[in-house]
Amino acid sequence: MTHTDPEAPVLPRREGRVGHLVLNRPRAINALTHEMVHRLDETLRAWAEDPAVATVLLTGAGERGLCAGGDIRAVRESALRGGAEAAAFWRDEYRLNALIARYPKPYVTFMDGIVMGGGVGLSAHGSLRIVTERSKVAMPETGIGFAPDVGGTYLLSRAPGELGTHLALTGTAVGAADARLCGLADHFVPAERLDDLAGDLATTEAAEAVERYRETPPEGILDRQREWIDHCYAAPTVEQILDRLHAAGSPEAKETAELLFSKSPTSLKVTLEAVRRARTAPTLEDALAQEYRVSCATLRSPDLVEGVRAQVVDKDRRPRWSPATLDEVGAADVAGFFEDLGADELTF
């Protein structure tokens, strides 16, 4: 299954015992389209049955990152037309995330550079997740009027203490050590050694090859911030989290409060509820089904269209959220994002 078209958005290659998938939209930091989801799903299912493929490797073309996330410009355009295409994209994308998490062979991901949103879904559910000194891993959805998806609520809800709540609400990007601390990555390998590791994977059992190259990452920052993060984000509501951040007496906590004020009030409340519900989700699939309900509900909310406009289309970075304040987002508004979709529920 080797593509001859060098312009294809996903390039499957066979290299010895490795099936190597290259995300190939470097100008868009390999942002994920529906066509790419189909190609990845089709190839992974074929390789799962192919005895010649012992390991799967996922990498991104270009120097900027593995994957900047889903193609949010296309999602916005779909939302303006009623959202059918976006809902279909998410259905297939979330099923792909579940396939990756249950993959029967070692699934190695090079989380080099930018790995955000949908990129986390393609990588952080894998069995051997490699970060580098260039890694910037984030679920930045609250900044575009959306909520963490692709299994992000499941992963973040299982991070130590309240670190996952902090990352989900702020959308903060973390480096190698903090990605490992939060359970989003496994091993640190310097970027300059990735090509050598990829070469060894073609001839060597995956865990053994990774063991040869892994090193101790540069120190992170979240471990030192645990005290105020765990205290502040344990508050029951977004409003009380903000109160605690302001009262914490830490410059970082105060900066975090200011950052949260720039996010969609609706997204903040929905995200907090989603992460807390995901903590008790028995399986990743249960969390993905919940995320699908939330994602489909955002298509009816003005904030997703407005957030993508401000960040990606007009790039004025001045979203006009509606409602504009946390006080205006009631419990019933939040509950509406989690309503059962009936016949449209996500199944696996």
**Are the C-beta atoms of residues 182 and 159 closer than 8 Å to each other?**
yes
Backbone angles phi, psi at 86, to 5 degrees: -65, -45
Q: How far apart are CA 161 and CA 147, in angstroms?
A: 20
Is-catalytic flag, 345? no
Query: What residues contact residue 253 under an 8 Å CB cut-off, 6+ apart?
Result: 228, 232, 244, 245, 246
Is-catalytic flag, 119? no
Is-catalytic flag, 7? no
Is-catalytic flag, 249? no
Q: Which residue has the tokens 């957030």?
A: 307
Q: How far apart are CA 331 and CA 325, in angstroms?
A: 14
Q: Which residue has the tokens 């016949």?
A: 343
Q: How far apart are CA 82 and CA 4, in angstroms?
A: 36
Instruction: Name the active-site residue from 19, 60, 83, 118.
Output: 118
Instruction: Name the active-site residue from 19, 60, 65, 70.
Output: 70
Closest CA to 112 of 218, 206, 194, 31: 194
Instruction: Name the active-site residue from 71, 93, 141, 186.
Output: 141
Q: How far apart are CA 117 and CA 201, in angstroms?
A: 27
Closest CA to 176 of 116, 206, 132, 141: 132
Is the omega angle on the peptide bond into residue 323 within 30 degrees of 0, that is, cis?
yes
For residue 99, the one-letter residue type is L
**Are the C-beta atoms of residues 148 and 172 closer than 8 Å to each other?**
no
* Residues with a known catalytic role: 70, 118, 141, 149
